[in-house]
Amino acid sequence: MNNHALILAIGTVIGRMEAAREALRGSPTHTVTMVGDLDRVIELAHVVRRIADGKTLDRAMGAPGDWGYQTEIGKALAADAE
């Protein structure tokens, strides 16, 4: 596997998702929930990209507050390890 090529490919996908998010924001059918969900999908793509770039999972995910303590991901990051 070529990590550099993978990082570039993931970056291309992220760019497309970010463009879609911006299109939604300008759309009359825009909803806060749709944009929020797309924000999380984009951030998860960034996480995958950071892992491909050599970051550990905990460094790639960031802090619970980055995701929102009330979200499923934020709660999981804040939970004690089992």
Assign 3-class secondary structure to the chain. CCHHHHHHHHHHHHHHHHHHHHHHHCCCCCCHHHHHHHHHHHHHHHHHHHHHCCCCHHHHHCCHHHHCCCCHHHHHHHCCCC
Cα 36 from Cα 14, distance rounded (Å): 15
Cα 51 from Cα 25, distance rounded (Å): 29
Instruction: Give the residue with greater pLDDT, 58 vs 24.
Output: 58
pLDDT by residue (tens digit) across 40-53? 888 999 999 999 99
pLDDT above 90 (res 35): no
Domain count across the chain: 1
Q: pTM of the predicted model, to two decimals? A: 0.70
For the chain, the average pLDDT equals: 83
pLDDT by residue (tens digit) across 65-75? 988 888 888 88
How remote is the C-alpha of 24 from its chain's centroid? 17
Domain limits for position 20: 3-78
